[in-house]
Every structure is written in C-alpha cells, then in structure tokens.
Structure 1
Amino acid sequence: MRQIGSSSLHVFPLAISGNIFGWTADTSTTDGILDTYFDLGGNFVDTADSYAAGRSEIMIGNWMRDRRNRDDMVVATKVGKSFDNPGLSAGSIARSVDLSLERLQTSFIDLLYLHIDDESVPFEETLLAVDKLIRAGKVRHFGVSDHTGNRLFEARIASAQIGVAPMIALQNQYSLLNRTEFEGDLATVADRQGLGVMPRFALASGFLSGKYRSRADLRRYTRGKDASGYLGRRGLRVLHALDIVALQTGESVATVALAWLLAKRNVVAPVVSASHAGQVPELTAAASVRLTRHQITELDRASA
C-alpha cells in the first residue's frame, strides 16, 4: 500500500477506473472486474459523477453493498462535469456530493477531485465549499484533476489565506506517450506541495498494452480509434523498448508500462480501465515489479 500525500489514505498502487462502468461494461462485467481486483489486494476505485451519467457510481455502490466491503475500499469520485450540476460553485459542489453519496450508498467520500478548473468561480468559494464538506464528514480529502501548475500554486496560497483543508492529490494525464503535461510545472508543484500523483490514461487509451501495432489492429478492436493517434514512429519505438524490458522481466508490456510510472517520484497509483476481469491480473502485477535503473533509462530515452 502507498500513502496519498500526507493523508491517512493508504491505497493499492493501482486504481481501477470506473469510466466504463454503466457504459460499455454491464453489471456482470463490472462486478467481475471489481471482484478480481479486490481478490488481488486492490482497494482503490476511481469514478466520477459524470461517468455514464452517474451509473458508474451506482454500480460501484451496489457492488460494495453486496460485498459488504465499503470499509475496505478507498473511493475517489469527481465533481464539476455532471449535466445536472456543472461547475464548481458552492451550490453545485454541495448538490453533486450529496447525489454521489446517495449513488455510492455511503456516508463519506474518501477522495473528492475537482474534475475541472472552473475559472468562472473564485478559488476561495470552491475551497470553502469543499472544506465545509470535509468538516461535515461527507468528504475526507480532496484533490484536483485538470489544473495547471500555476493554478495549483494559486490554490495553495488561497487555502493558506482562508484556513481551509489543503489538497492532497493530483490526477493528470501521464504515461510513456504523454509526458509533457506532467513533467514540467505540475511535477515541480506536486513535489513541493507533497501531492500524491494518480496518472490517468496510464496506458494511453490501451496503446501501451501492445495490442495496436498496425492499422489492421486498430480496426480489429472496438476502441482502436482512441489509440490511433499513437501509432507512429515514436509509438512503435516505445513499444519496442517495452518489448525488451517485458522479455527481461517476464512481464507483459502493459505491466512494464505501469511499473515505469510507479518508479516516478510522487506517483502513488496509476488509474487504469479494464474491459473485462481477465485483464486485471496483468494490471495489478505492476505493483510488484521493480525495474532497474537501466531499464527505466531506456524507456525514458525511447519515449523522449
């Protein structure tokens, strides 16, 4: 287990995303994914009030109710993008959280993310609204998922000035094929503020699983178009480097790609989707893989 920032939250080093629950994954598939993840030691599920118009939260809530394992799970959800309560005004946040609690069938959210950077609302209003929820026991901790380094710096200053709970987590796009968004100001701010980093799109829309190596492969899979932008000289170079390390470690390409992330400073748990339960073991296997310095350097060079 890894600690998120300086909080009391300790999570498995890989979070299962609920972004397909209630969309491409029905109840049986969702339960199978979550059951397998939990049986392998997983305890961290990531969703949002906007995923499948709230159905993702409902399915996760039903699963926890049926398994009676809410106390064993760390639940993260996000507010700001829902159709009914968009934005990060105090009213929208309060209403969104109450609805999320109802759908998740729980009295508290472990980690609440601000899903957008709503510059139409003063940071102070948003932070005070979240702090009120924390004081009420409805939310334990909060983080952000769509903010620049400068905005994180502004949020830290605002939090100190008005005396509210500080953020503990950052969720952002980060993978071997998407490094520039994080490896700059965001990485610096995350380090200085002690934020736990949860990379999303950790497998670059499935491209880093290694199954897309030709245009024919893209056509073969339903979600191939999401990965099509990575099929080029750089993408194939990264896959070649992953193939070498996978052969050296005896692990899958996807496992190695996630292990590379877990070797990076402040990364706590990449957020990854599984289409079915059979994919979960190779994802969770990344938690026990320790890449050598040379292997990390070779992957860094290939993805530069």
Structure 2
Amino acid sequence: MARLGRSGVEVFPLVLGGNTFGWTSDEKGSHRVLDAFVAGGGNFVDTADSYTAAVPGNSGGESETIIGSWLAARGNRDSLVLGTKVSQHPAFKGLAAGNVKAALEASLVRLGTDHVDVYYAHFDDPKTPLAETAGAFDALHKAGKIRVIGLSNYTAPRIKEWLDIARREGYEPPTVVQPDYNLVTRHRYEREIAPVLAEEGMVAVPYFALASGFLTGKYRQVGAHRKALPYFQLIGAFLTGKNRRNRQEFGEIVRRVVAGRYFTEAGLAVVEAVEDIASARGVEMSTVAIAWLRGRPGVVAPIASARTVEQLPALMASAEFELTADETTALDEVSARVK
C-alpha cells in the first residue's frame, strides 16, 4: 500500500479508472471489473460526475451511478477510497461555490454515500475567482463530505496559487494532483508540476498511464491512425445518426484518435523499448509501462481503466513489478526524446 500524501489515506499503488463504466462497459461488466479489482487487492476507484456525458445516449453521472449500485450490492464502502470530480457535468459546469456544492450533493446521491474520499476540481475555471473555489472545497471538507482535496489538469502556477490562498485563509490545502503523465508525455509534469509537489508534500495520481492504449502496442500501425484522423466527422456522424456504431466501436474510435497524437518516430521507439523489456521479462507491455510510471518522483498510484476483467491482470501486476536499473535507464532515455 502507498500513502496518499500528507492525508495519510492508504491506497493500492494502482487506481482503477471508472471512465469506461456506462460507456464501453455496461453495468454488469463494470461490476465484474470492480469485483476483480478489489479481489486483487485494489481499493482506490476514480471517476467523475461528467463520465460519460459525451457518449451518445448518456447525460453524465453514469459511471458514478454504476459504482453506486455496486457499492450498495457489495456493502463495502468503508474499505474503499473513492475519488470523483467536478466542473464538467452538463448540469454543473464550472467551479463557482454554489455549483461545487450542488455537484457534490448530486454525486453523493449517485454514489450512494455520505462522503467522497478525494474530490477533484476537474479542470480549472478561469471565470471563477480561485479563492471562491478554494473556499467551497474547504467548506465541504470541514463538513465531512470530502476527506482529501485534489486538482486535475491544473498548471503549476495555479496549483501554487491555490496553495497560497489556502495558507492565507486557513483553508484545507489540496493534497493530490491528477496530471496527464506517461512515458510519451513527460516534460510538462517533470519540469513544472513535480517540483511543486516535492516542495509542498503533495502527490500525483496520473491519468492516461498507457497513453490511451498506445503504450500497449495496440495502435502501432500508422495506417490505422490515419484512418481515425477525421475525428470531428466521425463523432458528428455518430451523434446525428448517420453512422450508428455501437458504444464499443465508438470507444475504439475515440481511443485511436487520442492515441494518434503519439504517432511519431520517437513515440514508436518508446513502444519498441517497452515491448523489448516485456518480452524479456515475460510480462505484458502495460505492466512495464505502468511500473515505470509508478516509480517516478511524486507518483503514488497511476490510473488505468479496464473494459473487461481479462484486461485487469496485466494492470494489477504493475503494482508489484520492479524494473531493473538498466531497464529504467533505457526507458528514461528513449522516452526523453519524445517532444
């Protein structure tokens, strides 16, 4: 187990992402994934109130509702660490104080609980004074409705600004940061955010640990990437009913498009390096990629999602898999070339 920064909350060194729940995983399938994750020792589940509003037929909150139904059926709320987010739900946009409070109340109803363990500001809201948002989170913390404050997708200057406000006003400071960080997206986190975390005693719980599947080798064919380039046309066709794909196919389109940003010579060299190590050690590529991330400065537990139970073992293995010094150096060097 690992400690979630100064909060003292103990977590398994892998977080299960709930962004597939209610999208590419239906309720029964999601429950099976959650069961397997807990059976393997996992205890930290990540979601957001906006998951998965962008999926045709959804309105937001589907992931929380599925997690809530699972918690009710299993009766295991007290043994879990739940993280959710605010600012992107269609009915609760932004980080104004009243909105933050209302959004959390809606999340608590969907999750079927009286508190969340980690509550994240999902995306910065430049229209709302940061002091107002920080005050809203502090009030919810003092009310016992959130245990730990987290920031997702915040820049280093804005993290420091929130911390300054918290010190000045006597507010509970944020403890956890959720950045986009992996073997092919290193520089912003390492150059800007990690130094702030080290200085302030904060920790990172990175998302896109596998770069939307790119680091598994699944999207190695550049030709496949090119077919997915007209993103807005594909999404538009789906939404207007001109191209009725099922949710799994829609999810695959989105993953390919997101993974497509890594299709460079340097990015593909990273995939080859990960594959070489995985082959030599007899493990899956995802195990290697997440193990590298888990060992980075400030990182407590990377986030990874599993659409099916069969995808979980390789992810769970990363919590105990240790790279050798030479393997770490090889991955450090090849991934440093990705710009």
Counterpart among 272, 295, 299 of residue 267 in structure 1:
299
The residue number in structure 2 matching 1:230 is: 262
Q: Residues 185, 228 of structure 1: CA spacing in aligned structure 2 closer, same or farther, 3 A cutoff?
A: closer
The residue number in structure 1 matching 2:196 is: 189
**Structure 1: where are the runs of 5+ without partners?**
none
Q: Distance in 1 between matches of 2:195 and 2:140?
A: 29
Question: Secondary structure, in 3 states, of the residue corresponding to 1:19?
Answer: coil
2:94 corresponds to 1:94: no
Higher deviation after alignment, 231-240 or 82-91? 231-240
The residue number in structure 1 matching 2:321 is: 289
Question: Secondary structure, in 3 states, of the residue corresponding to 1:110?
Answer: strand
The residue number in structure 1 matching 2:278 is: 246
Question: Secondary structure, in 3 states, of the residue corresponding to 1:183?
Answer: helix
Q: Distance in 2 between matches of 1:178 and 1:250?
A: 26
Structure 1 residue 121, shift from structure 2 partner: 1.4
Structure 1 residue 8, shift from structure 2 partner: 2.4
Q: 1:135-284 to 2 correspondence within 5 Å?
A: 135-215=142-222, 222=253, 223-284=255-316
Question: Secondary structure, in 3 states, of the residue corresponding to 1:22?
Answer: coil
The residue number in structure 2 matching 1:10 is: 10
Counterpart among 106, 110, 121 of residue 113 in structure 2:
106
Counterpart among 264, 276, 300 of residue 332 in structure 2:
300
When the two structures are aligned, how many residues end up with a matched partner? 304
Residue identity matched to 1:101: L
The residue number in structure 2 matching 1:44 is: 44
1:257-298 deviations in Å (ceiling 9; x for gaps): 000001111101111111211001100100001112211110
Question: Secondary structure, in 3 states, of the residue corresponding to 2:275?
Answer: helix
Structure 1 residue 57, shift from structure 2 partner: 0.3
1:207-245 deviations in Å (ceiling 9; x for gaps): 111222214665795543332232331122101111221
2:85 corresponds to 1:78: yes
Contact 2:208 2:303 in 1 (8 A): yes
Question: Secondary structure, in 3 states, of the residue corresponding to 1:42?
Answer: coil
Question: Secondary structure, in 3 states, of the residue corresponding to 2:160?
Answer: helix
Structure 1 residue 122, shift from structure 2 partner: 1.5
Q: Which runs of 4+ in 1 moved over 3 A?
A: 215-223
Contact 1:177 1:235 in 2 (8 A): yes
Structure 1 residue 165, shift from structure 2 partner: 0.5
Structure 1 residue 90, shift from structure 2 partner: 0.6
Q: Distance in 2 between matches of 1:18 and 1:225?
A: 20
**Structure 2: where are the runs of 5+ without partners?**
53-59, 228-248
Contact 1:211 1:217 in 2 (8 A): no
Q: Distance in 2 between matches of 1:147 and 1:231?
A: 25
1:42-75 deviations in Å (ceiling 9; x for gaps): 0010000010200100000111110111111100
Q: Distance in 2 between matches of 1:181 and 1:57?
A: 30
Q: Distance in 1 between matches of 2:94 and 2:160?
A: 20
Contact 2:153 2:180 in 1 (8 A): no
Output the aligned Cα RMSD.
Answer: 1.4
The residue number in structure 2 matching 1:34 is: 34
Q: Percent identity?
A: 41
TM-score by length of 1: 0.96
Q: Distance in 2 between matches of 1:157 and 1:229?
A: 35
Contact 1:19 1:56 in 2 (8 A): yes
Question: Secondary structure, in 3 states, of the residue corresponding to 2:206?
Answer: strand
Contact 2:86 2:120 in 1 (8 A): yes
Question: Secondary structure, in 3 states, of the residue corresponding to 2:299?
Answer: coil
